[in-house]
Chains A and B, each alone.
Chain A
Amino acid sequence: MARMKFLCDADRCIECNACVTACKNENEVPWGINRRRVVTINDGKPGERSISMACMHCTDAPCAAVCPVDCFYTTADAVVLHSKDLCIGCGYCFYACPFGAPQYPKVGNFGSRGKMDKCTYCSGGPEVDLSPVEFQKYGSNRLAEGKLPLCAEMCSTKSLLAGDGEIIAQIYKERVVKRGYGSGAWGWQTAYKETIAI
């Protein structure tokens, strides 16, 4: 099985936010929740870069480690998913996540956050693949259809890459070698404790 990862080539990202919109639409994500977002670093200065960020599906994921009810699991494709039936909305995954990926439908006073929601790598949840209840709780399951996450698939500059970690690392490496620069595989050291050596 592949080890699925995301890689945002910031030198190609044009901050169009189409990945954000595509994600929201594909998964019918509720108002107020953004499973994916685009952050601009050094905005307005020479050399600014925008990075599209979502759950990185970490190796040894911190969210899964701290969850008091153990509602997380890692799929055979190394995608980190969780069960909304088991989630108690305590917010601990949000404290632990280095990328701010976990989202909640409500502000959260008095512990009323609701069930956590995050990027599923377009691969649904613990329900039966492609069932209506899976879509309603977790959104689309493109992986079960043999497709990659929509955010990366529709990225117009192919800045956002999704797929097997080794393959997308190779694509990024070739790009950096050819153009002569690269601002780094954002989040990889934090999420996977490895980076792409050029």
Chain B
Amino acid sequence: MRFGAHFRLLVTGLLLSFAVAFAAPGSAQQVNPTADAVKEQQFLDALKGNPSAELQGRITIPDQKAATLERPAGREWREFHQGTMLRIGAIAVLGTLIALLAFYLIRGRVRTEAGPAGRTLTRFNAFERFMHWLTAACFIVLALSGLNVTFGKLVLLPLIGPQAFTNLSVAAKWAHNYLAWPFMVGIALMFVVWIKDNIPNMIDLRWFAAGGGIVGKEHPPARRFNGGQKVVFWSVVLGGAALSVSGFYLLFPFYAGGVLNLQFWNVVHGIVSVLMVALILGHIYIGSIGMEGAFDAMGSGEVDLNWARTHHSLWVEEEMSKGHVGGGPRLQPAE
């Protein structure tokens, strides 16, 4: 027994030493561990074809993010943030403002030709106005604090100096991070409450074909929301959702994965934001100085009957048939 065990051990040991003896010279011929070391150039060449690649290794400190040695993609994100983002943002914001000014000078205010009827009907109830202004107030702060990240150092920093600009930017950052939540609530409420009136249909196509009553003098028929308003609704809902998802990842950085994912969500957040700002500038214009009587809808919630007949003729018919039209002098039957 004992002899057998010793013998097996001896044989195994001999076999192992033979294996090592034969294998070692072979591997030494293949690899010279000094001259054949990894070279940075190999990695940079490999990374060239794939801009999102990272050069990673092993690290002994507990922070695995530190195992990334080089990430050339940082340079591309910088190009985006300091180039593309600035251009898109400037075009979206300034371009929209200039276009709206030009439109105001050419077209002027959209008026209610028939003049006020003196009778009103309820367009938006108190809850609808609450959710609209909740979202709107948050959006304005979010938009200004967001634009500050890209444009602040070009516009505000030279005006107010570094320390004041930092104090303002810190406040803007906290406002942005916390007002994002009521903004998301507002978007969700508007989606639930207004989706039933925002399903696209053939009336919208005719509305667009007639220029929406904005370009021409004709006012095409519309139900509660016309084609343009449906575009605003869906842009706000989908854009708001994109901002919420991308913003969530930026707010909780390590759910997004690595820095490359953060860069991606930052690009999404930036582009969608400035497009939303452009859209909302148009929305603010047509809801205030751009159209006579439009602000009442979100102000008091009560709109003039003639305004409603001009812009939402089919909706007025529906409300009339439900007996929802009130206020002002009632029409008396002829005696």
Contacts and interface: CB of A to CB of B under 8 A. Distances in A.
B166 A189 contact: no
Nearest to A187: B70
B40 A96 contact: no
B39 interface: yes
Interface stretch (A86-94, A117-125, A144-152, A161-169): A86-94
Nearest to A47: B37
B166 A96 contact: no
A183 to B, nearest CB: 5
Contacts of A184: 39-41
B82 A65 contact: yes
Interface in B170-202: 170, 173-174, 176-178
B82 to A, nearest CB: 5
B38 A49 contact: yes
Contact of B169 (A17, A20, A51, A69): A69
A154 interface: no
B78 A65 contact: yes
A50 B40 CA distance: 11
B335 interface: no
Contact of A95 (B66, B68, B252, B263): B263
Contacts of A91: 253, 262
A68 B71 contact: no
Interface in A77-131: 83, 85-92, 94-100, 107-111
A69 B171 CA distance: 13
Interface string A43-58: 1001111110100000
A108 B251 CA distance: 8
Contact of B69 (A39, A66, A85, A94): A39
A90 B35 contact: no
Contact of A183 (B37, B72, B150, B174): B37
A155 interface: no
B166 A62 contact: no
A11 B36 CA distance: 11
Contact of B81 (A11, A66, A110): A66
Contacts of A11: 34, 37
How many B residues touch the partner, as a band? 35 or more
A183 B253 CA distance: 34
A89 B152 CA distance: 16
Contacts of B67: 39
A71 B39 CA distance: 35
Contacts of B169: 68-69, 88
B288 to A, nearest CB: 31
Interface in B32-49: 33-41, 43-44
Interface in A129-186: 179-181, 183-186
Contact of A68 (B27, B148, B177): B148
Contact of B37 (A10, A95, A98): A10
A190 interface: yes
B66 A49 contact: no
Given A46-B31, A95-B262, A109-B251, A190 B39 contact: no
B259 A185 contact: no
Contact of A41 (B44, B69, B78, B177): B69
A129 B177 CA distance: 36
A59 interface: no
Contact of A180 (B35, B60, B152): B35
A181 B165 CA distance: 51
Given A34-B63, A47-B36, A183-B39, A39 B263 contact: no
Which 5 A-B pairs give the minimum distances between C-beta atoms? A184-B40, A39-B57, A46-B31, A43-B58, A47-B37
13 contacts: A17-B60, A38-B60, A39-B66, A39-B68, A47-B31, A48-B37, A65-B82, A66-B77, A68-B148, A94-B259, A181-B35, A184-B39, A187-B70
Interface of A: 10-11, 17, 20, 32, 34, 37-43, 46-51, 53, 62, 65-71, 83, 85-92, 94-100, 107-111, 179-181, 183-187, 189-190
Given A39-B66, A68-B169, A100-B71, 11 more contacts: A40-B59, A41-B43, A49-B37, A62-B74, A66-B82, A88-B169, A95-B74, A98-B73, A107-B253, A185-B40, A190-B72
